[in-house]
């Protein structure tokens, strides 16, 4: 490759992905540029993405690959990168699609207010967290296609997951914050905190490209007026707020507000993907992984079965579909080392199915246990008309009410946007509460379906905890809990979860490094390792724990 190739690749990445990707972004390397170019220039709907011309990448037509990573979210992306860097030929199997083609509007992802076939994963209607707005139903019909947002519905809980190369990073609000050390030592006391805070959290932060909102700009920008109103009402009741890190590029966000670049966070983009500005995993970890030349990504490829062969290798049944859901190929592929990063729900389902069908009968009875929703509860409050929250709002939160030191009801509540395009005088919150409520995931062989035994009453402690913080704020500032957003005129949204955790908890279903009990060379790298609660948005924690897992596994198991 010529010396001019990196500059050409920069042009290619900018042209295809837009100005949200820039050679001036943190940790941009030649390897990352190569990987970004491979993703950007892959044929639309391509089943396989790899980087030719460096090392020999894993050939998806072979029956055997040394390592397979299932899923390309936070845990799976870490595994893919570190395996590729170690020279291990690795195949990443991702259930969702590669989001590199453009729709009718010339963008990868659809507008929030004009959802189309790019919105939902094989659902005939949108399934947004709000049931209604001013009692008008929020969900509308859309074509059934391989969209980006999926809601897995269980008895009393709907769990949101991202479908695509990049997993949950494609649909989350950008918040990326390590737990406070004191909290981490409480819910993961068996893990060396010194190592995590001295090495793995900083490594995760650098690779993800986490940045902080510029404070002076935050204090004057219109798009964070809602945040400042939320801070002021909290302070009036004696509560403090804390800033949080983000993987949304704040330099880009400032340019958005000046009209210099296409809008994304200020154009209501969040649930159905961010076209610009966000450093999602396809622009960081996965690009770096592809850039090693040792990693191949297969999109729209669902693992339906895991077996262990007599020689100890794992045999995976894989179903490949197109964006309409038609099965275009079925195949089996074996590997020696299998890394499950399919997200909390996907990883648990694969392991529970393998245990209950007898494919991996020696799996621990602990699998499926200890599931939690990170104490998630949502609520919106109507302010007095002398406290407008702003016509233009960024969908990427920058601060939260920090009441984590409360001895009985610790709470961290992200102050979230409600960007309607008109003044709505509303402050919204996504609460993270430590209630200790847990549930169990099970698999029914007859229905071939995973279930979750979470019940509606388990949300009551989370509501009580959040109200312990918000009631004084509402009372002091004469706010009103909005009841038009959720069915039954409920003020609190508790039937949706953005932060599913647990089921393969460290030290219970696995050892302290994600090795699954009962089987060699089988690993978990995602949120299933976390014991149901992370005290903040868990993306940074999942990434850092995956880094820790891969560091030990590469030292001891793949030498």
Tell me the catalytic residues: 414, 499
Instruction: Return the ∠ at Cα 155 (arms to 307 and 153), rounded to 5°.
Output: 65
Alpha-carbon gap, residue 429 to 427, rounded angstroms: 7
Alpha-carbon gap, residue 224 to 228, rounded angstroms: 6
Contacts of 298 (CB under 8 A, 6+ apart): 47, 48, 49, 60, 91, 92, 93, 94, 318, 320
Alpha-carbon gap, residue 192 to 205, rounded angstroms: 18
Dihedral over alpha carbons 190, 191, 197, 198 (to 10 degrees): 120
- Which tokens hold the place of 384? 């007095």
Alpha-carbon gap, residue 347 to 475, rounded angstroms: 43
Alpha-carbon gap, residue 197 to 182, rounded angstroms: 11
Query: Where do we find the tokens 């997200």?
Result: 343
Q: Are strands 64-70 and 90-93 parallel, antiparallel or unpaired?
A: parallel
Could you tell me the CA-to-CA distances from 185 to 190, 534, 535 in Å, in that order? Answer: 8, 11, 11
**H-type alpha helices, 139-224:** 181-187, 193-195, 201-208, 215-220
Cβ atoms of 158 and 507 within 8 Å: the answer is: no
Strand partners, 92: 69, 297
Instruction: Return the ∠ at Cα 366 (arms to 361 and 372), rounded to 5°.
Output: 135
Helix (H) or strand (E) holding 81, with range, is: helix 74-85
Burial (0-12, 13-18, 19+ Cβ within 10 Å), 488: exposed
Alpha-carbon gap, residue 461 to 375, rounded angstroms: 9
- Which tokens hold the place of 93? 């199997």
Could you tell me the CA-to-CA distances from 337 to 99, 183, 270, 510 in Å, in that order? Answer: 28, 33, 35, 15
Instruction: Return the ∠ at Cα 348 (arms to 358 and 205), rounded to 5°.
Output: 145
- Which tokens hold the place of 286? 């996965």
Q: Are strands 327-340 and 522-524 parallel, antiparallel or unpaired?
A: parallel
Q: Residue 158's CB: how many other CB atoms inside 10 A? A: 13
Cβ atoms of 543 and 210 within 8 Å: the answer is: no
């Amino acid at each position: 490759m010529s010396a001019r190739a990196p500059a050409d690749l920069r042009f290619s990445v900018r042209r295809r992905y837009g100005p949200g990707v820039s050679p001036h972004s943190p940790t941009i390397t030649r390897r990352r540029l190569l990987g970004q170019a491979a993703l950007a220039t892959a044929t639309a709907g391509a089943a396989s993405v790899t980087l030719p011309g460096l090392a020999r990448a894993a050939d998806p037509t072979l029956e055997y690959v040394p390592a397979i990573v299932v899923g390309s979210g936070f845990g799976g992306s870490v595994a893919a990168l570190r395996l590729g860097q170690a020279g291990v030929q690795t195949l990443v199997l991702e259930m969702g699609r590669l989001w590199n083609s453009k729709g009718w509007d010339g963008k990868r992802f659809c507008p929030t207010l004009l959802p189309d076939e790019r919105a939902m994963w094989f659902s005939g209607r949108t399934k947004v967290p709000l049931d209604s707005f001013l009692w008008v139903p929020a969900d509308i019909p859309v074509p059934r296609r391989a969209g980006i947002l999926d809601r897995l519905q269980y008895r009393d809980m709907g769990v949101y997951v991202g479908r695509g190369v990049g997993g949950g990073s494609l649909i989350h609000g950008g918040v990326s914050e390590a737990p406070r050390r004191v909290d981490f030592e409480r819910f993961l006391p068996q893990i060396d905190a010194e190592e995590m805070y001295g090495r793995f959290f900083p490594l995760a932060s650098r690779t993800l490209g986490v940045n902080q909102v510029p404070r002076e700009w935050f204090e004057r920008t219109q798009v964070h007026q809602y945040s400042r109103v939320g801070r002021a009402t909290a302070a009036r009741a004696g509560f403090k707020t804390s800033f949080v890190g983000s993987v949304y590029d704040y330099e880009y966000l400032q340019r958005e507000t000046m009209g210099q670049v296409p809008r994304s966070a200020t154009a209501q983009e969040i649930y159905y993907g961010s076209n610009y500005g966000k450093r999602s995993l396809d622009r960081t970890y996965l690009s770096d992984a592809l850039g090693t030349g040792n990693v191949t990504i297969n999109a729209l490829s669902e693992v339906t079965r895991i077996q262990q062969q007599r020689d100890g290798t794992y045999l995976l049944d894989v179903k490949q579909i197109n964006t309409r859901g038609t099965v275009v190929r079925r195949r089996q592929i074996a590997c020696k080392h299998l890394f499950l990063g399919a997200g909390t729900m996907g990883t648990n389902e694969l392991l529970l199915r393998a245990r209950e069908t007898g494919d991996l009968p020696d799996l621990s009875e602990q699998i499926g246990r200890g599931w939690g929703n990170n104490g998630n509860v949502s609520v919106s409050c109507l302010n007095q008309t002398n406290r407008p929250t702003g016509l233009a709002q960024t969908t990427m939160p920058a601060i939260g009410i920090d009441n984590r030191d409360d001895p009985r009801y610790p709470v961290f509540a992200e102050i979230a946007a409600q960007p309607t395009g008109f003044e709505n005088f509303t402050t919204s919150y996504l609460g993270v509460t430590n209630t200790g409520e847990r549930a169990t995931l099970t698999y029914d062989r007859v229905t071939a379906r995973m279930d979750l035994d979470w019940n509606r009453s388990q949300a009551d402690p989370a509501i009580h905890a959040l109200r312990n913080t918000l009631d004084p704020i509402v009372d002091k500032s004469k706010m009103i809990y909005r009841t038009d957003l959720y069915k039954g005129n409920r003020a609190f949204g508790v039937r949706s979860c953005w932060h599913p955790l647990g089921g393969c908890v460290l030290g219970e279903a696995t050892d302290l490094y994600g090795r699954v009990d009962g089987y060699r060379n089988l690993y978990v790298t995602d949120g299933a390792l976390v014991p149901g609660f992370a005290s903040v948005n868990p993306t940074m924690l999942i990434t850092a724990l995956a880094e820790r897992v891969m560091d030990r596994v590469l030292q001891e198991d793949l030498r």
